[in-house]
A and B are shown apart, each in its own frame.
Chain A
């Protein structure tokens, strides 16, 4: 029986190690999903947090400086909830409404890096980064989706 308990303790140690790894890594790298509206409402509390924000790109605001690789644009609020998006006629429709409704909250974004291929009007921008004191979102990572064109499993990737 001594042997069994040794195995048991060994197993427990591994389980404990895995649990520790998961918890500590989760804490170290959690990103909060927020909508543009939530960011605007709670700008103070989310100041230093790693955020993940999605919104509809306003084509007119895209300003790209190829010299410094600085990309500036503004996104409009889209709902964060999949069900709500479905209820409003799908992602394409929601993005279209978002860019045409000036009453919706908006957020300025600065991204340093290569301008992604899909960066255009009505695309959905999914970004991770932090809010600056100036209320501008500094994106470290920028992904784009264009549901109007492709609804299939299309990998789109571009990182800074």
Chain B
């Protein structure tokens, strides 16, 4: 029953979406506002309907309705309720439904805004939103239906089908196979939804861009309208990526946080173009330049969002994220190709109306540096894209499948990331329009001197790793410049209004949220860079088997193996938990409990590290194996990850800055560009 309600809701939403697309286009062509209003109503209905479908599935999941294939594949009786709910995105069918649901939430929200002044955008925003939604709904309905049931055929055998095959009876397995234990982690509960939120939210700026192209209203209105949407999309995507890294660090047990896996890259690529877009729209707003470029960036971002979903869902590439092999690959590919080409055709059609209003005048102006920043982001994107599709290309070209691993990405992107860091230090000091080496030098010399001193200090402490020294110099320089910017702004306020400095900083950031939010994000990035330098360049590891009471040393640390406890936990898993004493320079510091959980229902073990975490370093121990008689010994793998906590701290600061930048301000509706001109003309007539 519930399954039928869910399926019915999906079907109706799909029909409604198709109708909405038609009504919007027809309304524009016939110039009938009522049809557009009707399309708007159709759009508004998609969210409640998909909520019905999603809630149906959630109830089925929570209620252990194992006759539903999807439920049986991702839940089991022993799972706690909150995990059963998160199983909504634990599998392919469910996650596609989840995607569509979030997507409809965003499109519905944007439809609800006041449209008085941007009426002409409305039908096209609806069309783009509904086409995207319809595509996902068709995928679900035709290929990946989460409401399929098991049926026992009269002749024996079990099939999955939506409706009862002739003579068959409903088959209900006694228990489901359960959610993969690796996904039973707080990070995994919110990581996929955040990534998805980021993905779907980027559809909004894209739909406005397309609306601007179609209507020919190609000034920066569409950018101003979607500025906050873009920032929120970017916020979710960033948060999703950071939490994914944290989850990998906590759960995957390889002492790392980012593996340059195709699926990770798939989520990273729209982030790259999105970040470039966030920067370059500022140039369009301030200087009326780069209009084509911004269109290209948002079109690319949309294509990469769909491509990212496709990569994770199609099985086209081999990855550590085990893929589902399914028929939806060609459908995705077709949809991406179609929307991408259509967008580019529109762009070409409006090409001449997107001419820049001014020219670049100086190589060191803020806008030139922003452009450079964009080129570097796109450079990283190309590296990533090349790495992901290289196996396919080489196979087509030579018949030999060749792949590139993490060393490729690290080697190729490191100089580009360093360049970005450097720009992060220089660009805030550069003025719009005109800057020369001289003016830049005058602004930069204080932070520059400071950063050189910092690096000298680090060198004096004994660090001789040249790449790390370059990295630390960049970090110190950017930090210096950014704090200096805050200081200068606050001092100016302080002198003008006599506010005390702390208040001045708060007010400063509050008044100009995008700018100072951006600076806080930059600070977050440099903090993350400290952590990345620490773990990438100074990570140490060792492994060994030690008897009870035995010791294993790594750097300043020593672990002593005290005890092993093996017991059954309530949620149907067996736990082997080691107790270790950790000594640093011979002194006892803490006790760690690396453990191995074995999940009976999925017959899969999971290794959970014991971590002693400080701002200086993480001491990370994995219980690898133990001999049946626990006194005989156990095997441990030990990592020393210097500074890695700065990565998470930086991530936190990064998100904080994004919140500040994205937080809604009182809507100060900017006056349309054409209005002053008209007003002037009217005035002229008056005279």
Interchain CB contact under 8 A, B545 and A67: yes
Considering only residues 108-132 of chain A, those with a C-beta below 8 Å from chain B are: 113-115, 117-118, 126, 128
Considering only residues 589-612 of chain B, those with a C-beta below 8 Å from chain A are: 602-607
Q: How far is the CA of A145 from the CA of B652 in the complex (A)?
A: 33
Query: For residue B411, which residues in chain A have a CB less than 8 angstroms away from its CB?
Result: 21, 24-25, 28-29
Interchain CB contact under 8 A, A26 and B404: yes
| B91, B248, B405, B543: the one within 8 Å of A155 (CB) | B248
| B313, B375, B404, B635: the one within 8 Å of A25 (CB) | B404
Q: What is the distance, in angstroms, from B284's C-beta to the closest C-beta of chain A?
A: 17
Query: For residue B386, which residues in chain A have a CB less than 8 angstroms away from its CB?
Result: 22, 26
| B95, B254, B391, B606: the one within 8 Å of A159 (CB) | B254
CB-CB under 8 A for A114 and B404, given A21-B416, A150-B180: no
Identify the stretch in B232-240, B321-329, B679-687 within 8 Å (CB) of chain A at 4 or more residues: B321-329
Interchain CB contact under 8 A, B322 and A150: yes
Interchain CB contact under 8 A, B322 and A153: yes
Q: What is the distance, in angstroms, from A25's C-beta to the closest C-beta of chain B?
A: 4
Tell me if A97 is interfacial: C-beta within 8 Å of chain B: no
Interchain CB contact under 8 A, A69 and B360: no
Query: For residue B359, which residues in chain A have a CB less than 8 angstroms away from its CB?
Result: 3
CB-CB under 8 A for A31 and B603, given A66-B625, A152-B91, A155-B182: no
Query: For residue A147, which residues in chain B have a CB less than 8 angstroms away from its CB?
Result: 322
CB-CB under 8 A for A28 and B407, given A66-B627, A91-B325: yes
| A14, A126, A149: the one within 8 Å of B177 (CB) | A149
Tell me if B379 is interfacial: C-beta within 8 Å of chain A: yes
| B92, B252, B391: the one within 8 Å of A33 (CB) | B391
- Number of contact residues on B: which range applies? 35 or more
Interchain CB contact under 8 A, B407 and A69: no
Q: What is the distance, in angstroms, from A142's C-beta to the closest C-beta of chain B?
A: 11
Residue interface mask B243-274, A partner, CB < 8 A = 1: 00000100011101001010100000000000
Tell me if B390 is interfacial: C-beta within 8 Å of chain A: yes
Query: For residue A29, which residues in chain B have a CB less than 8 angstroms away from its CB?
Result: 404-405, 407-408, 411
Interchain CB contact under 8 A, B408 and A82: no
Q: How far is the CA of A85 from the CA of B383 in the complex (A)?
A: 30
Identify the stretch in B59-67, B395-403, B438-446, B447-455 within 8 Å (CB) of chain A at 4 or more residues: B395-403
Q: What is the distance, in angstroms, from A58's C-beta to the closest C-beta of chain B?
A: 19
Considering only residues 42-85 of chain A, those with a C-beta below 8 Å from chain B are: 52, 54, 64, 66-67, 69, 80, 82, 85
Which of B318, B361, B603, B622 has the most chain A CB atoms inside 10 A of its CB? B318
CB-CB under 8 A for A14 and B375, given A22-B412, A26-B408: yes
Query: For residue A28, which residues in chain B have a CB less than 8 angstroms away from its CB?
Result: 407-408, 411
Interchain CB contact under 8 A, A21 and B376: no
Query: For residue A7, which residues in chain B have a CB less than 8 angstroms away from its CB?
Result: 360, 363, 368
- Number of contact residues on A: which range applies? 35 or more
| A11, A117, A126, A128: the one within 8 Å of B605 (CB) | A117
Interchain CB contact under 8 A, A21 and B322: no
Tell me if A136 is interfacial: C-beta within 8 Å of chain B: no
CB-CB under 8 A for A154 and B408, given A33-B402, A69-B635, A91-B325: no
Residue interface mask B410-442, A partner, CB < 8 A = 1: 011101100000000000000000000000000
Q: How far is the CA of A21 from the CA of B412 in the complex (A)?
A: 5
CB-CB under 8 A for A31 and B415, given A152-B90, A153-B92, A155-B248: no
Query: For residue B33, which residues in chain A have a CB less than 8 angstroms away from its CB?
Result: none
Query: For residue B401, which residues in chain A have a CB less than 8 angstroms away from its CB?
Result: 32-33, 80
Tell me if B5 is interfacial: C-beta within 8 Å of chain A: no
Tell me if B73 is interfacial: C-beta within 8 Å of chain A: yes
Interchain CB contact under 8 A, B325 and A86: yes
Tell me if B312 is interfacial: C-beta within 8 Å of chain A: yes
Tell me if B382 is interfacial: C-beta within 8 Å of chain A: yes
Query: For residue A17, which residues in chain B have a CB less than 8 angstroms away from its CB?
Result: 379, 415
Interchain CB contact under 8 A, B248 and A152: no
Interchain CB contact under 8 A, B263 and A153: yes
Query: For residue A41, which residues in chain B have a CB less than 8 angstroms away from its CB?
Result: none
Q: How far is the CA of A33 from the CA of B400 in the complex (A)?
A: 7
Tell me if B74 is interfacial: C-beta within 8 Å of chain A: yes
Q: How far is the CA of A17 from the CA of B378 in the complex (A)?
A: 12
CB-CB under 8 A for A149 and B383, given A26-B390, A33-B402, A114-B637: no
Tell me if A151 is interfacial: C-beta within 8 Å of chain B: yes
Q: How far is the CA of A150 from the CA of B603 in the complex (A)?
A: 11
Residue interface mask B331-372, A partner, CB < 8 A = 1: 000000000000000000000000000011101000010001
Interchain CB contact under 8 A, A31 and B404: yes
Q: How far is the CA of A155 from the CA of B188 in the complex (A)?
A: 11
Interchain CB contact under 8 A, B180 and A154: yes
Interchain CB contact under 8 A, B318 and A153: no
Interchain CB contact under 8 A, A66 and B545: yes
Interchain CB contact under 8 A, A66 and B624: yes
Tell me if B315 is interfacial: C-beta within 8 Å of chain A: yes
Q: What is the distance, in angstroms, from A160's C-beta to the closest C-beta of chain B?
A: 9
Q: What is the distance, in angstroms, from A64's C-beta to the closest C-beta of chain B?
A: 8
Q: How far is the CA of A32 from the CA of B412 in the complex (A)?
A: 19
Determine the residue in chain B with the shortest Cβ distance to A155. B321
Considering only residues 263-319 of chain B, those with a C-beta below 8 Å from chain A are: 263, 312-313, 315, 318
Q: How far is the CA of A54 from the CA of B649 in the complex (A)?
A: 39
CB-CB under 8 A for A66 and B324, given A7-B360, A31-B403, A155-B182: no
Q: How far is the CA of A64 from the CA of B627 in the complex (A)?
A: 12
Interchain CB contact under 8 A, B412 and A117: no
Query: For residue B635, which residues in chain A have a CB less than 8 angstroms away from its CB?
Result: 66-67, 69, 114
Tell me if B320 is interfacial: C-beta within 8 Å of chain A: yes
Tell me if B183 is interfacial: C-beta within 8 Å of chain A: yes
Query: For residue B379, which residues in chain A have a CB less than 8 angstroms away from its CB?
Result: 14, 17-18, 21
| A31, A86, A117, A150: the one within 8 Å of B607 (CB) | A117
Interchain CB contact under 8 A, A30 and B402: yes
Interchain CB contact under 8 A, A155 and B622: no
Query: For residue B405, which residues in chain A have a CB less than 8 angstroms away from its CB?
Result: 29, 31, 128, 141
Q: How far is the CA of A11 from the CA of B74 in the complex (A)?
A: 50
Considering only residues 172-207 of chain B, those with a C-beta below 8 Å from chain A are: 177, 180, 182-183
Interchain CB contact under 8 A, B322 and A156: yes
CB-CB under 8 A for A149 and B402, given A91-B325, A154-B322: no
Q: How far is the CA of A126 from the CA of B405 in the complex (A)?
A: 13
Interface residues of B (CB under 8 A from A): 73-74, 90-92, 95, 177, 180, 182-183, 248, 252-254, 256, 259, 261, 263, 312-313, 315, 318, 320-325, 359-361, 363, 368, 372, 375-376, 379, 382-383, 386, 390-391, 400-405, 407-409, 411-413, 415-416, 543, 545, 602-607, 622, 624-627, 633, 635, 637
Can you list 28 A-B pairs with a CB-CB distance of less than 8 A? Answer: A3-B361, A21-B383, A21-B416, A24-B411, A25-B404, A25-B412, A26-B404, A28-B408, A29-B407, A30-B402, A31-B402, A31-B403, A32-B402, A33-B400, A52-B403, A67-B635, A82-B315, A85-B325, A126-B318, A143-B320, A149-B602, A152-B92, A153-B92, A153-B313, A153-B321, A153-B324, A155-B321, A158-B253
Known: A6-B363, A153-B322. 15 other contacts (CB 8 A): A17-B415, A18-B379, A21-B411, A29-B405, A30-B403, A33-B391, A54-B318, A69-B543, A90-B325, A114-B635, A143-B320, A145-B322, A150-B322, A154-B322, A157-B253
Q: Which 6 A-B pairs have the closest CB atoms?
A: A33-B401, A25-B412, A18-B379, A29-B407, A29-B408, A25-B411
Interface residues of A (CB under 8 A from B): 3, 6-7, 10-11, 14, 17-18, 21-22, 24-26, 28-33, 52, 54, 64, 66-67, 69, 80, 82, 85-86, 90-91, 113-115, 117-118, 126, 128, 141, 143, 145, 147, 149-159
